[in-house]
């Protein structure tokens, strides 16, 4: 397939514009407007209003009722950019440090190619979602009726992946990324003079006991070939040397690569918080929030994209069974609702390794744009065969 160089150049231009004008989750108004303008100029039907700033473009050709959805995320991060590129962020303290500018530019490039030259029979849904970072824009799009309003048979998404050579396409059967939950624990004791602890109930000691005990959930109860993480990431309590405080607050996160493990760790955590501090005479309570489920590919769809990527780029560029990461992704919610697959696209070049994701020096590799466009266009044309 020959993607015209003018189209790739235009997509790179959109990427630089987005990079220079980053917007945080659910505030992607200008980004969303750019997406709408480009899609409209291509004659693509556009729907807005899902999850505030989300956009869905629909391109139909032929008579088939088959359909495919491709998703890109649009939000930036609250990081001060230090990359020094010409098109660096104009917004203080905000930057595209996760490459969502690149993902958006790729999907616009795919829309441009398919609208002008696409040879397929069916419907393509271009899904531009807000707020992937922490805020659950994907969750909101699904809640707002993405899959009720639109008939989408299967869904695909990608993320650029520093540490992998440019053009590598990594697609597992099953888990790609972990679930992501957060919790706040409060340990309510009885304050007293530190020299007379017998008059109080010490929440600091209870916190120490609880933190140690919680580490046994993953190390002793999760099977060694399964994966989970339980981290306490914040502890606050006490004001000075000679007072045992009334209260200690803890925060933390739970990650797991499958739902059974996630649920087991959650339930055991709740049980420990209820029962263990009580032994110290301290009352434990917890606010546990389930954020994103694990990102788990449908194996049929994963095999489908691997086969297509192998045909287009060569078998040696396709990686199956890549070690999943304990980071997370809210495309998982779409994958729980529809069959599909999520993949990582390598972005490192020999003389130009990418900075890590969420790093102030990160800048999406423009050379990955042509690869991403060709991959998605091939997926559409080889799935919705004309
Ligand atoms: Zn990110
Ligand atoms: Zn990201």
Ligand in closest contact with the CA of 344:
2
Interval between CA 248 and ligand 2 midpoint (Å):
34
One DSSP character per residue, 135-156 reads S-HHHHHHHTTHHHHS--SEEE
DSSP 51: T
Local structure of 235: helix, strand or coil = strand
Compute the distance between CA of residue 230 and CA of residue 73 in angstroms, rounded to an integer: 27
Residues whose CB is less than 8 angstroms from the CB of residue 322 and which lie 6 or more positions away in sequence, other chains included: 170, 172, 176, 344
DSSP 363: -
pLDDT at residue 146 tops 80: yes
Q: Are 241 and 194 in contact (CB under 8 A)?
A: yes
pLDDT in tens, 337-347: 999 999 999 99
Compute the distance between CA of residue 30 and CA of residue 248 in angstroms, rounded to an integer: 43
pLDDT at residue 130 tops 90: yes
Helix/strand/coil percent split, the chain, to 5:
35, 30, 35
Compute the distance between CA of residue 383 and CA of residue 156 in angstroms, rounded to an integer: 12
- Phi/psi at 115 (5° precision): -65, -40
Ligand in closest contact with the CA of 101:
2
Ligand in closest contact with the CA of 73:
2
pLDDT in tens, 200-258: 999 999 999 999 999 999 999 999 999 999 999 999 999 999 999 999 999 999 999 99
Interval between CA 74 and ligand 2 midpoint (Å):
9
Q: Which residues surround ligand 2, an ion (CB under 5 A)?
A: 98
Neighbours of 88 (CB within 10 A): 16
Q: Percentage of residues in the chain with pLDDT exceeding 90?
A: 99
CATH 3.40.640.10, applies to 5-177+294-383: no
| Residue ranges in the chain assigned as alpha helix (H) | 5-20, 29-41, 100-117, 137-143, 146-149, 203-216, 259-275, 299-313, 331-337, 367-383
Ligand in closest contact with the CA of 157:
2
pLDDT of residue 386: 87
Q: How would you class 378 by CB atoms within 10 Å of its CB: exposed for 0-12, middle for 13-18, buried for 19 or more?
A: middle
DSSP 242: S
Question: Among 82, 171, 39, which Cα is nearest to 363's?
Answer: 82
Compute the distance between CA of residue 270 and CA of residue 258 in angstroms, rounded to an integer: 19
Interval between CA 359 and ligand 2 midpoint (Å):
12
The pLDDT of 292-302, averaged and rounded, is 97
Q: How confident is the model at residue 66 (pLDDT cuts 50, 70, 90)?
A: very high
pLDDT of residue 1: 75
One DSSP character per residue, 193-211 reads ETT-GGGSB-HHHHHHHHH
Local structure of 221: helix, strand or coil = helix
- Phi/psi at 171 (5° precision): -140, 115
Interval between CA 129 and ligand 2 midpoint (Å):
12
pLDDT in tens, 70-89: 999 999 999 999 999 999 99
- The CATH classification number of 180-292 equals 3.30.70.360
Interval between CA 103 and ligand 2 midpoint (Å):
9
Interval between CA 42 and ligand 2 midpoint (Å):
27
| Domain boundaries, given as residue ranges, for the chain | 5-177+294-383, 180-292
Interval between CA 97 and ligand 2 midpoint (Å):
8
Interval between CA 325 and ligand 1 midpoint (Å):
13
Q: Are 133 and 75 in contact (CB under 8 A)?
A: yes
Angle among Cα 178, 183, 188 to the nearest 5 degrees reads 155
Compute the distance between CA of residue 206 and CA of residue 12 in angstroms, rounded to an integer: 55
Question: Can you say how many angstroms the Cα of residue 58 is from the centroid of all Cα atoms in its chain?
Answer: 23
The pLDDT of 364-372, averaged and rounded, is 98
Q: How confident is the model at residue 373 (pLDDT cuts 50, 70, 90)?
A: very high
* β-pairing verdict for 154-165 and 339-348: parallel
The pLDDT of 11-18, averaged and rounded, is 98
Local structure of 78: helix, strand or coil = coil
94: left (phi over 0), alpha (psi -120 to 50) or beta: beta
């Amino acid at each position: 397939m020959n993607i015209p160089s003018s189209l790739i150049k235009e997509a790179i231009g959109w990427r630089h514009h987005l990079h220079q004008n980053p917007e945080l989750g659910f505030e992607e108004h200008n980004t969303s407007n750019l997406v709408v303008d480009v899609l409209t100029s291509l004659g693509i039907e556009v729907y807005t209003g899902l999850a505030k700033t989300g956009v869905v473009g629909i391109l139909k050709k032929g008579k088939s009722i088959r359909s495919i959805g491709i998703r890109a995320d649009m939000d930036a991060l609250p990081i001060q950019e230090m990359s020094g590129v010409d098109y660096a962020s104009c917004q203080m303290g905000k930057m595209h440090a996760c490459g969502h500018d690149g993902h958006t530019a790729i999907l616009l490039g795919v829309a441009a190619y398919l609208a002008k030259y696409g040879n397929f029979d069916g419907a393509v849904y271009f899904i531009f979602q807000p707020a992937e970072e922490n805020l659950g824009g994907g969750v909101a799009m699904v809640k707002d009726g993405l899959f009720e309003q639109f008939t989408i048979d299967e869904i695909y998404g990608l993320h650029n992946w520093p540490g992998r050579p440019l053009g590598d396409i990594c697609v597992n059967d099953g888990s790609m990324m972990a679930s992501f939950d957060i919790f706040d624990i409060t340990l309510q004791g009885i304050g007293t003079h530190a020299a007379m602890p017998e008059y109080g109930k010490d929440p600091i000691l209870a916190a120490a006991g609880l933190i140690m005990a919680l580490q046994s959930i993953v190390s002793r109860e999760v099977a060694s070939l399964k994966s989970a993480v339980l981290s306490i990431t914040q502890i606050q309590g006490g004001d000075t040397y000679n007072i045992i405080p009334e209260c200690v607050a803890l925060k933390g996160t739970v990650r797991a690569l499958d739902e059974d493990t996630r649920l087991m760790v959650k339930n055991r955590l709740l049980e420990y918080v209820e029962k263990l501090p009580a032994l110290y005479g301290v009352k434990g309570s917890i606010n546990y929030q389930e954020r994103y489920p694990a990102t788990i590919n449908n194996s049929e769809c994963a095999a489908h994209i691997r086969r297509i990527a192998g045909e287009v780029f060569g078998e040696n560029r396709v990686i199956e069974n890549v070690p999943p990461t304990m980071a997370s992704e809210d495309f998982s919610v779409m994958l729980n609702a529809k069959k599909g697959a999520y993949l990582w696209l390598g972005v490192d070049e020999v003389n130009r390794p990418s900075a890590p994701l969420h790093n102030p020096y990160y800048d999406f590799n423009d050379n990955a744009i042509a690869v991403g466009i060709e991959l998605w266009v091939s997926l559409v044309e080889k799935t919705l065969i004309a």
